[in-house]
Amino acid sequence: MAQVIKLKRSAVVGKTPVTSSLELGELAVNTADGKIYLHRSGSSDDTIQSVLTTDATITGSLKLSGSQHISGSVEVMDNINFEGDISGSLGSTSSFDRVISLNTASIGYLIATGSNFAVFDAETGSFASGSDLHAILAESSSYLVNADTSSLGKVTLTSDITGSITSTGSFGKIL
């Protein structure tokens, strides 16, 4: 069934149509903003929806499902919230400052592998629940802790420990 597509045009920056100005299925084009809008009929209410175009600033939410592939860089201006597990890998890089920063009250566990893989600073707070390890792992000009990735659980301190450590469980020898 053939239908006529009606277009309404505006060249006013920031102007968006309202439901009363567009018929269902009609499109509006704002040539100043480079945006396209359509009148959508929903189960509870009619709405004006913005059509996603390339190189556009999106106001509101964008929900993606399925797999996404992003080529290039991603800049996040606010927070990213993850539900469920998160994993990632870093390919070949010649130099980088910080791969990821975690700021959380409770992280079940963090697995990091490789050489010079993690730096914990005072901003991370307590490293283990109820412990005072953040004082040991405080940021300094040299790494205070080196982890041996060839044997599980081996940690070598490259600096003296000052203060105290409280253990609530058995963990073997302290040398």
Dump pLDDT digits (tens) for 23-60: 887 899 999 988 899 988 877 788 888 887 777 777 77
Distances (CA, A) of 117 to 114, 144, 154: 5, 13, 14
**With bands split at pLDDT 50, 70 and 90, how would you rate the model's confidence at 10?**
very high
| The two structure tokens encoding residue 98 | 């910080």
Report field, pTM of the whole predicted structure over 0.85: no
For 91, list phi and psi in degrees, rounded to 5: -75, -160
| The two structure tokens encoding residue 31 | 């040539």
pLDDT above 70 as % of the chain: 47
pLDDT in tens, 102-155: 555 555 555 555 555 555 554 444 344 334 344 444 433 344 444 444 444 555
CA pair distance 61, 11, nearest whole angstrom = 25
